[in-house]
Amino acid sequence: MERHLAMVLRMTLRVTGNVEDAEEAAQEAFLQAYKKLSRFREDAAFGTWVYRIAMNCSLNLLKRRARNVTWNAESLDEAPGSQHAVSPQMTPEAALLDAEAQLERERAMSFLTPKERTAFVLRHLEEQPVDVIADALGISANSARQVVFRAITKLRRTLAPSGAGVDATVAPTHFLKESR
């Protein structure tokens, strides 16, 4: 269960973009999975099953947040000094630039719709196949593909003027810990 929770938390954080929502979505996913345990079929891996539930929970949470304009959960990425680990190999200046670039990238993500963000994260970061994303979003595979393309194009347009995101040197996010 622990490795499933870790996997789910990673995904929910990437989709939601902040720790509070990530944990809420993950917990809701496990609770739903527990309640529907009798429907779990042995022919599917439990991890895949709970992961798919978590995808839906994350997307639904994003939609709720998008509607609730009063919600003001602070993204971890908006406080780079406290939330980002500084790689010991980086100079302080490089670390600062990297944190700023990462902040820009996360800000660009905030311009995506919940569906675009979810599709982008699941396809590019989680490397999920298009049909899984389509199922999570409740759309056809072709539509899911278009949503991913649209999200990436939108990110590029948002980041292009400042040039953020060009530097691929990044430091790990520390909602979690460094993997090295």
Partner 1 sequence: MKRFDDEDLVAHYLHELAPQKASELESAMQTDPALAARYEAYTTMLRAYKANAATLVVDEAVMARNWKAMRPALAGARVGPSMLSRWRYPALAGAGLALAATAIFMSTRPHEGGRPTPAAAVQESGGPGLSATTTENALAGGVSMGAPSDDLAMAERRYAQERGRASRHFTHPLTAAPRDLPGDLPQALRLRTGLPLNTAYAAAPHFIPLASMSLPEPPTQSGYPDMFGPAGTAQTTASRRRSKSGHVRTGIHHEYPADLTFAMGGTLIGTREASGPGTEVRTLGATHAVTALAAFHQQLRPAVGYRIAVSYSRPDFQYALRDATTNSGQRDINGRMYELAATYVVQGPHHGALSTSVEAGGGMMALLPTLSSAETSYNLRGVAVVGVAAEVALTKHLGIHLGYRAQVFKGPDFQYSGTDKSIVGTTFFSNEPMAGIIYRFHPK
Interface residues toward partner 1, by CB under 8 A: 2, 5-6, 9-10, 13-14, 19, 23, 26-27, 30-41, 49, 52-53, 56-57, 59-60, 63, 67, 101-102, 105, 113, 115, 123-125, 130, 137-140, 143, 145, 148-149, 152-153, 155-156, 159-160, 165-173, 175-180
Nearer to partner 1, 82 or 177 (CB): 177
Closest separation between CB of residue 92 and partner 1, Å? Answer: 19
Closest separation between CB of residue 93 and partner 1, Å? Answer: 18
14 and 61 in contact (C-beta within 8 Å)? no
Please list the residues that pair with 84 across neighbouring strands.
173
| Residue at 57: amino acid letter | C
Closest separation between CB of residue 44 and partner 1, Å? Answer: 9
Nearer to partner 1, 91 or 138 (CB): 138
Nearer to partner 1, 73 or 125 (CB): 125
CA atoms within 13 A on the CB side of 168: 0
* DSSP secondary structure, 45-57, as one string: -HHHHHHHHHHHH
Using CA atoms, how far apart are residues 97 and 52, in angstroms rounded to an integer? 36
Nearer to partner 1, 78 or 149 (CB): 149
Q: At a CB cut-off of 8 Å and minimum separation 6, what does 129 contact?
A: none
Closest separation between CB of residue 56 and partner 1, Å? Answer: 6
Dihedral sign for Cα 86, 104, 155, 166, please: negative
